[in-house]
């Protein structure tokens, strides 16, 4: 072989070998495992007594909100509250789902990063990250995810140091907006049917929600037997007290047999003619037939022993009211209540 042909042969060999390395596509087994670790809406859904799932066809949170509640219909108000809170949870999951419709910008074993993506309309950049931690808590491990955002355009080359552990990156201005984690439990096909997790939204960094509080925290835990949710809004303290100025605590439990209970505890200015804010507490419980009891109490903050207003409502399996009392005015038969007290 002549010397001049050797470089050509080497070049051809290198070219063919190089072509074999230029494979591209999204054919993946790892994705099917990785994304199975995301919570689904039904895991975060609160369904008070007699309420169908908002995720079922023909039923939505919007439809529920369109039906006004009669005064004193505590069950209806409880449903309204649940629908509102479901809307918040679903919004957060929709946010994650929207990001996941796009291919990751950075794809590593057990880690995916999207962005920074510049939103022209909002003139802001966002970055989303998912990390799988093989901590032995489940077959798939635990998934952590977070969304960072910053005003203006953030160059991609500057975000390498940003991770879910970073609250505020001074170089880029990227601040943590949403964080969460999820440990899948039972799996149904390629999706987690149950699991334990939490979502935290930094309200103070989201312009339209700044006044609501500092953080919104959703903890959820569900399995075959029951669904538990706790939603809380953490706000600033009331001046001179150790009480928070804004606070919402919502606990929800639904058993597999259809029974459940909820407790809503919020600070709100329910009596504008009086100084300060009031404490609204709504509790409810229902049995497998969906018959149940609800109680609402309005009191000054820290003074639940002397409520300003107390109401009780009981309903039967057809969701018809069997007993109602507002302070001292009552109608119906309290003995017809499925529960005598909460």
Partner 1 sequence: MNLRALACALPLAALAAGNAHARTERLALIVANHQGGTELPELRYAGRDGQRLADVLVDLGGFERADILSVIDGEGGDVMGALDEVERRVAQAKRGGDEVVFLFYYSGHAQNGVLRLGQTQLEMQWIKRRLEESSADVRIAFVDSCGAGAMTREKGGTLAPPFVVQVDQGLSARGQVIITSSSASEVSQESDDIQGSFFTHYLATGLRGDADRNTDGKVTLDEAYAYAYGRTVAATSVTRSGAQHPTYSYDLRGAGDVTLSEPGGADVVIDFPAESEGRYFVVDLDRQLFVAEVDKNAGNTSRIALPKGQYAIKKRMDSHLLMTRLSAREKGVFTIDEGAMERVSFADDYAKGTPIMSDRIADEVGFALSVGLGAQLVLDPGDDGDLFPGLPYVVIEARGRNLVGEHIMTSADVGFGGVKVERDVPGGTIPADVVHVQAGVNVLWTTRLFDDAVLLGGGGRLAAMYWQHTFQDPAALPVGVDATQWYFDFAPGLVGMAGWSFASWGHAEITARSSVMVYTYDSVRPVFPVEALASVWFDF
Closer residue to partner 1 (CB): 77 or 112: 112
Closer residue to partner 1 (CB): 97 or 171: 97
Closer residue to partner 1 (CB): 8 or 330: 8
Site membership for partner 1, residue 32 (CB under 8 A) = yes
What are the Cα distances from residue 201, in Å, to 13, 92, 175, 178, 233?
Answer: 55, 8, 12, 5, 9
Which tokens in the block code for residue 49? 């007594």
Binders of partner 1: how many residues, by CB under 8 A?
Answer: 40
Stretch that binds partner 1, among 60-68, 189-197, 318-326, 329-337 (CB under 8 A): 189-197
Length of the chain: 342
Q: How far apart are the first and last CA of the chain?
A: 95
Least distance from partner 1 to the Cβ atom of residue 32, Å = 5
Stretch that binds partner 1, among 44-52, 92-100, 215-223, 249-257 (CB under 8 A): 92-100
Stretch that binds partner 1, among 161-169, 182-190, 304-312, 334-342 (CB under 8 A): 182-190
Q: 69, 73, 41, 29: which is closest to 284 by C-alpha? A: 73
Strand extents, DSSP E, 63-164: 106-108, 111-119, 124-133, 142-151
Site membership for partner 1, residue 97 (CB under 8 A) = yes
Least distance from partner 1 to the Cβ atom of residue 40, Å = 8
Least distance from partner 1 to the Cβ atom of residue 120, Å = 24
β-strand partners of 12: none
Please check whether residue 69 is in contact with residue 76, taking contact to mean a CB–CB distance below 8 angstroms. Answer: yes
- Alpha-carbon distance of 266 to 272, in angstroms, equals 16
Stretch that binds partner 1, among 33-41, 223-231, 241-249, 305-313 (CB under 8 A): 33-41
- What sign does the dihedral 40-41-46-47 (CA atoms) show? negative
- Alpha-carbon distance of 262 to 82, in angstroms, equals 9
Least distance from partner 1 to the Cβ atom of residue 149, Å = 20
List binders of partner 1 among 109-168 (CB under 8 A).
109, 112, 139-140
- Alpha-carbon distance of 340 to 245, in angstroms, equals 33
Stretch that binds partner 1, among 151-159, 171-179, 185-193, 262-270 (CB under 8 A): 185-193
Site membership for partner 1, residue 16 (CB under 8 A) = yes
- What sign does the dihedral 64-70-76-80 (CA atoms) show? positive
Site membership for partner 1, residue 25 (CB under 8 A) = yes
Q: Half-sphere exposure (CA, 13 Å, Cβ side) for 281?
A: 16
CB-count exposure of residue 198 (10 Å: 0-12, 13-18, 19+): middle
Which tokens in the block code for residue 166? 């970073």
Q: Which of 106, 191, 210, 331 binds partner 1 (CB under 8 A)?
A: 191
Q: Which of 3, 5, 19, 207 binds partner 1 (CB under 8 A)?
A: 19
Site membership for partner 1, residue 31 (CB under 8 A) = yes
Q: Which residues bind partner 1 (CB under 8 A)?
A: 16-17, 19-38, 96-97, 100-101, 107, 109, 112, 139-140, 184, 186-193
């Amino acid at each position: 072989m002549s010397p001049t042909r050797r470089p050509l042969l080497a070049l051809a060999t290198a070219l063919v070998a190089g072509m074999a390395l230029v494979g591209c596509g999204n054919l993946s087994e790892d994705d099917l495992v990785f994304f199975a670790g995301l919570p689904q809406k039904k895991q975060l859904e609160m369904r008070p007594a007699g309420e169908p799932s908002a995720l079922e066809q023909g039923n939505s949170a919007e439809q529920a909100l369109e039906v006004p509640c009669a005064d004193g219909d505590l069950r209806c108000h409880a449903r309204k509250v649940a629908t509102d809170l479901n809307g918040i949870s679903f919004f957060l999951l929709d946010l994650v789902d929207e990001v996941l419709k796009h291919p990751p910008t950075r794809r590593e074993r057990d880690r995916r990063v999207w962005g920074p993506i510049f939103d022209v309309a909002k003139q802001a950049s966002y970055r989303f990250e998912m990390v799988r931690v093989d901590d032995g808590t489940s077959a798939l491990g635990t998934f952590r995810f977070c969304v960072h955002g910053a005003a203006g355009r953030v160059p991609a080359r500057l975000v390498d140091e940003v991770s879910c552990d970073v609250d505020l990156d001074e170089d880029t201005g990227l601040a943590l907006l949403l964080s969460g984690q999820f440990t899948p439990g039972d799996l149904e096909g390629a999706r987690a049917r149950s699991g334990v997790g939490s979502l935290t939204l930094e309200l103070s960094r989201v312009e339209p929600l700044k006044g609501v509080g500092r953080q919104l925290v959703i903890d959820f835990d569900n399995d075959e037997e029951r669904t538990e949710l706790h939603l809380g809004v953490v706000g600033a303290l009331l001046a001179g007290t150790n009480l928070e100025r804004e606070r919402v605590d919502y606990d929800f439990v639904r058993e597999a047999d259809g029974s459940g209970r909820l407790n809503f505890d919020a600070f709100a200015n329910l009596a504008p003619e009086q100084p300060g804010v009031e404490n609204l507490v709504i509790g409810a419980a229902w049995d497998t037939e969906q018959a149940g009891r609800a109680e609402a109490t309005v009191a000054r903050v820290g003074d639940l022993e002397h409520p300003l207003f107390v109401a009780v409502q009981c309903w039967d399996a057809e969701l018809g009211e069997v007993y109602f009392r507002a302070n001292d005015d009552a109608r119906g038969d309290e003995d017809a209540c499925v529960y005598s007290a909460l």
